[in-house]
Chains A and B, each alone.
Chain A
């Protein structure tokens, strides 16, 4: 009972914030709504007994990546947009429609084929999985990130001519 009330509360916050992300005119309000949405998602993870994933969600996405977003918004001093580019609007509608359709289909198919089983979401269990079964994927992601860092440094270097 309490769990479902909390779930609907979190889901409602998530949806309202997500709608606000795309409807807000000011980029800063949009970014703040995205942070609220990410935190609401983390709350839903906590309800699923995945506290570690929730902590990582807040720490990495809401706490680090979104700080960079707001940093860029503030550095460029972006103001509210008053006009949208008409030419791209039909494309975005089409793309958004396809994405919504796909995700609705995934949700319905996952709800109707409910064969999920509970997993251990503790730090210990996830750490063991990451360093045993998923070691290759884990290391591969680290290398991808390293490549991204080196790429950023190369692009950011001033040309010494």
Chain B
């Protein structure tokens, strides 16, 4: 009884009060951030009332509301020649699978209320990470089916591109995580978070990104490709084929759009869990007490839970903002570049990462060497970024 009740409450808190509103807010954030990136003003029209002759637009915050109303009241249209049943099911698939993945992500520590230990994670499974990938891999059927069932050539091309892209990047995505599994020794997401507790080498957080910086970069790139957003938005490619959702209107289109933003939240949550220590901060949250350097004080279990949820939420939010910024910074890949990146760069790099991680974990099971190696790699990456691309003189072009 207590399990059913707590699961419902967790679902309401995490999915209905955190993930879905965040996804809706991201539609606004994308508009604002793209406006800043492109030196525009951004959304200014939707408003409820005027004050002193000026419309109160709240920085465009009312636009998601206006969008939702528009989506709900438009006619839901399906072409006569489409496969009606599949056409109707397709938008739900991506959305539902993304929500299932969300249920496996721990969003806070285990809390104790009235003698009951309640994990702040909706579903806890021994092979949780594998289920994340399993349901993540099912998500592509939404795009593929939408493209097929619309009976429209451009939509079909979008669907074909989506499935080819998903298959190519799924392999790299699965292999990058193997290094993380080797470092933390578990496939259960809350255990992975627990393994990232505290410090390593005495001064660094024991996070996945310190131990596996290379895997973190590969994972982020491959997972961005799975969300089908720029620079990997070939299935959509609005300037060439419009996309697999070409024949959708009303809430069908709305579900694709919301599903895309939910996927951003899911990817951020997964990245935070695997590489950024989930709901914990190394110097602040200990086992059951909070220590800020010299002070340390005990908090009740529920307060630690709320604090953990807050920290997790902030990490997820920052990662979402990073993804949106990337979407507005990078141009779309060409199709051959996409395949080249997936098969010839990410896949071999992931295999090398597995091998190197295996050797280093075998050499030092306390992960010390792995951490030093990770630090060296991060310094190298930062230096590469500072050095910038090779200067090519005008004559060489």
Write the residues of chain A forming the contact surface with B, with a CB cutoff of 8 angstroms: 26, 28-29, 32, 35, 39, 42, 51-52, 55-56, 58-59, 62-64, 67-68, 70-71, 73-75, 77, 122-123
The segment out of B125-133, B264-272, B319-327 that lies at the interface is B125-133
CB neighbours (8 Å) of B167 from chain A are 64, 67-68, 71
A58–B140 Cα distance when bound, in Å, is 13
CB neighbours (8 Å) of B111 from chain A are none
B371 at the A interface (CB under 8 A): no
B148 at the A interface (CB under 8 A): yes
CB neighbours (8 Å) of B83 from chain A are 26, 28-29
Say which residue of B137, B140, B163 sits within 8 Å of A59 (CB atoms): B137
The 7 listed contacts between A and B (C-beta, < 8 Å) are: A42-B134, A51-B125, A51-B127, A52-B130, A63-B170, A74-B160, A123-B187
Q: How many contacts between A and B, using CB within 8 angstroms?
A: 85
Greatest chain B CB density within 10 A among A42, A51, A55 is at A55
Within 8 A of A (CB), among B92-147: 125-127, 130-131, 133-138, 140-141, 144-145, 147
A-B contacts besides A59-B137, A75-B160, 15 pairs, CB < 8 Å: A26-B83, A28-B145, A28-B149, A29-B85, A35-B141, A42-B134, A52-B130, A62-B137, A62-B138, A63-B170, A67-B163, A70-B141, A70-B145, A74-B144, A74-B163
CB neighbours (8 Å) of A58 from chain B are 131, 134-135, 137-138
Say which residue of B130, B147, B187 sits within 8 Å of A74 (CB atoms): B147
A126–B134 Cα distance when bound, in Å, is 18
CB neighbours (8 Å) of B131 from chain A are 51, 55, 58
Q: How far is the CB of B188 from chain A (nearest CB, A)?
A: 8
Q: Are A64 and B148 in contact (CB under 8 A)?
A: no
Within 8 A of A (CB), among B153-198: 156, 159-160, 163-164, 166-167, 170, 187
B199 at the A interface (CB under 8 A): no
CB neighbours (8 Å) of B303 from chain A are none
Q: Are B127 and A55 in contact (CB under 8 A)?
A: yes
Write the residues of chain B forming the contact surface with A, with a CB cutoff of 8 angstroms: 83, 85-86, 125-127, 130-131, 133-138, 140-141, 144-145, 147-149, 156, 159-160, 163-164, 166-167, 170, 187
Interface of A (DSSP majority class): helix
Say which residue of B126, B134, B144 sits within 8 Å of A70 (CB atoms): B144
Q: Are A71 and B130 in contact (CB under 8 A)?
A: no
Q: Are A74 and B148 in contact (CB under 8 A)?
A: yes
CB neighbours (8 Å) of B148 from chain A are 28, 70, 73-74
Say which residue of B85, B86, B130, B141 sits within 8 Å of A55 (CB atoms): B130
Residue of B whose beta carbon sits closest to that of A70: B144
Q: Are A71 and B127 in contact (CB under 8 A)?
A: no
Residue of B whose beta carbon sits closest to that of A29: B86
Q: Are B130 and A56 in contact (CB under 8 A)?
A: yes
Q: A52-B126, A52-B127 are in contact. Are A70 and B163 (CB under 8 A)?
A: yes
Residue of B whose beta carbon sits closest to that of A42: B134
Q: How far is the CB of B243 from chain A (nearest CB, A)?
A: 15
Residue of B whose beta carbon sits closest to that of A79: B151
A59–B133 Cα distance when bound, in Å, is 7
Residue of B whose beta carbon sits closest to that of A71: B163
Q: Are A63 and B134 in contact (CB under 8 A)?
A: yes
Q: A74-B156, A74-B160 are in contact. Are A67 and B140 (CB under 8 A)?
A: yes
A29–B148 Cα distance when bound, in Å, is 10
Q: A71-B163, A71-B164 are in contact. Are A59 and B86 (CB under 8 A)?
A: no
CB neighbours (8 Å) of B138 from chain A are 35, 39, 58, 62-63
Residue of B whose beta carbon sits closest to that of A122: B126
Q: How far is the CB of B190 from chain A (nearest CB, A)?
A: 14
Q: How far is the CB of B363 from chain A (nearest CB, A)?
A: 19
Greatest chain B CB density within 10 A among A70, A73, A122 is at A70
Q: How far is the CB of A131 from chain B (nearest CB, A)?
A: 13
Q: How far is the CB of B85 from chain A (nearest CB, A)?
A: 8
Residue of A whose beta carbon sits closest to that of B90: A32
CB neighbours (8 Å) of B163 from chain A are 67, 70-71, 74
A39–B135 Cα distance when bound, in Å, is 10
Residue of A whose beta carbon sits closest to that of B188: A123
A70–B164 Cα distance when bound, in Å, is 10
Q: How far is the CB of B168 from chain A (nearest CB, A)?
A: 10
CB neighbours (8 Å) of B164 from chain A are 71
Q: Are A32 and B145 in contact (CB under 8 A)?
A: yes
CB-based closest 8 A-B pairs: A63-B137, A55-B130, A58-B134, A59-B134, A71-B163, A52-B127, A55-B127, A55-B134
CB neighbours (8 Å) of B145 from chain A are 28, 32, 70
Q: Are B170 and A64 in contact (CB under 8 A)?
A: yes
Q: Are A32 and B86 in contact (CB under 8 A)?
A: yes
